[in-house]
DNA sequence: TTTAAAAAAGACATTAATATCTTTTTAAAA
DNA sequence: TTTTAAAAAGATATTAATGTCTTTTTTAAA
């Protein structure tokens, strides 16, 4: 469904926010350890996200990653679109050059519905929503193998 | 969402079934032309599917691809699982090693719902359903660029 | 029985995604 | 002002997905 890059991104940002709320700005090695992702690759991803102003970073001693108040308002949709491309929530599930409800592919009915649902969710939720679930249930950012 | 391979597969199988129902067994070059996919790559995909008994083929003059009655009953789910792997409809959207509703990732609630919906659809539909839509609307297997 | 047309097989090429390693820049603290 | 710890940058490596090309096998028809 989502690429590894998107998955590492979401996990990393949730971890960053959770640590920020404890007053800490974690570095990429710590982040990678805590979300179980390859450290250098995670560093690269965060570098990209910082360039795109989706996350903030501080260099030097006591540096690390953090989310400003404004960045905490960015929708998951915007974040994912930065990674997967602008039209991830518009493209045809069957692989046609574009999705056209008036001239649909055989999957359109079902696919467009699901795509729309996902898009709605991503559009109305943020990293904060992921990090601080309303039901207060403990959430997991990594998992041991079976 | 789905890989190119899955998309070419679905488009090719729908085209094959439509032609079969006209009494023809198309070859991979024709198929590729009609679904706008790379010909040799499509040939390879069909070769794989034939090995997996998802499609049938005849070699030699007047050869080509076709779906037997039994093959027309295979669910989209089975077809997609052959390509994307057995656990495509069970895996965690957040990238955790496995999905566990009792110890959920922050996306679980929404993702599992959507995943289940898609799985239900794929499980209860076949290439025949795609090829012969109930509403009789014309369906498209390729599309000119905008 | 030869020829033609088709899929199958195998080898190879390209591209995109994922991953690692090294050097440079920056900033705080000692 | 030197040291240290961090991100940024750049170079490179690996793997997986996608795509192409050539040869072999098979079958039907001429
Ligand atoms: S036309 Fe294929 S999903 Fe809309
Ligand atoms: S635990 Fe992540 S989708 Fe279920």
* Antiparallel, parallel or unpaired: β B64-66 and B56-58: antiparallel
Q: Locate the DSSP E strands across A27-142.
A: 56-58, 64-66
Residue B134, pLDDT score: 87
Count of pairs with CB atoms under 8 A, one residue in A, one in B: 96
Mark yes or no for CB contact B10/A110 under 8 Å.
no
Instruction: Check: pTM over 0.75? Answer yes or no.
Output: yes
**For residue A145, what pLDDT is reported?**
86
In this complex, do B105 and A7 lie within 8 Å of one another by their Cβ atoms?
A: no
Do residues A127 and A17 make contact, with C-beta atoms less than 8 angstroms apart? yes
Which has more pLDDT, B145 or A19?
Answer: A19
User: What is the predicted pLDDT for the residue at A100?
Assistant: 97
Nearest to B12 by CA among B23, B41, B22: B41
Confidence of residue B146 (pLDDT cuts 50, 70, 90): confident
pLDDT tens for each residue of B6-21: 999 999 999 999 999 9
Which among B62, B70, B74 has a CA at the least distance from the CA of B9? B74
Confidence (pLDDT) at A73:
98
pLDDT in tens, A10-31: 999 999 999 999 999 999 999 9
Delineate the domains of chain A, giving CATH numbers in brackets.
Answer: 4-85+126-132 (1.10.10.10)
Which residues does chain A have within 8 Å of residue B140's beta carbon, measured at their own beta carbons?
A: 96, 103-105
A99 Cβ within 7 A of any nucleic strand D atom? no
Cβ distance A139 to B106 under 8 Å? yes
For residues B65 and B56, the answer to whether their CB atoms sit within 8 Å is yes
Residue B117, number of CB atoms within 10 A of its CB:
14
Phi, psi of A2, deg, nearest 5:
-90, 150
Q: Where are the alpha helices (DSSP H) in chain B?
A: 4-20, 28-35, 39-51, 76-84, 108-124, 127-131
Chain-centroid distance of CA A14 in Å reads 8
Of A64, A55, A63, nearest in space to A8 by CA: A55
User: What is the tens place of the pLDDT at every residue in B39-82?
Assistant: 999 999 999 999 999 999 999 999 999 999 999 999 999 999 99
Evaluate if residue A136 carries a pLDDT over 90: no
A27-64: pLDDT as tens digits: 999 999 999 999 999 999 999 999 999 999 999 999 99
Determine the distance in angstroms separating the CA of A38 from the nearest CA of chain B, rounded to an integer: 13
């Amino acid at each position: 469904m989502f690429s590894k890059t998107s998955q590492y991104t979401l996990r990393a940002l949730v971890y960053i926010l959770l640590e920020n709320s404890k007053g800490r700005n974690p570095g990429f090695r710590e982040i990678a350890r805590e979300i179980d992702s390859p450290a250098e690759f995670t560093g690269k991803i965060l570098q990209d996200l910082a360039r795109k102003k989706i996350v903030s970073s501080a260099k030097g001693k006591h540096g690390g990653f953090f989310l400003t108040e404004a960045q905490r308002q960015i929708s998951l949709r915007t974040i994912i679109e930065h990674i997967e491309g602008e039209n991830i929530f518009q493209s045809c599930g069957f692989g046609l050059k574009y999705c056209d409800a008036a001239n649909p592919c055989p999957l359109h009915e079902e696919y467009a519905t699901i795509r729309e649902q996902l898009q709605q969710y991503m559009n109305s939720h943020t990293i904060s929503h992921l990090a601080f679930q309303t039901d207060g249930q403990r959430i997991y950012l990594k998992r041991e193998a079976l």
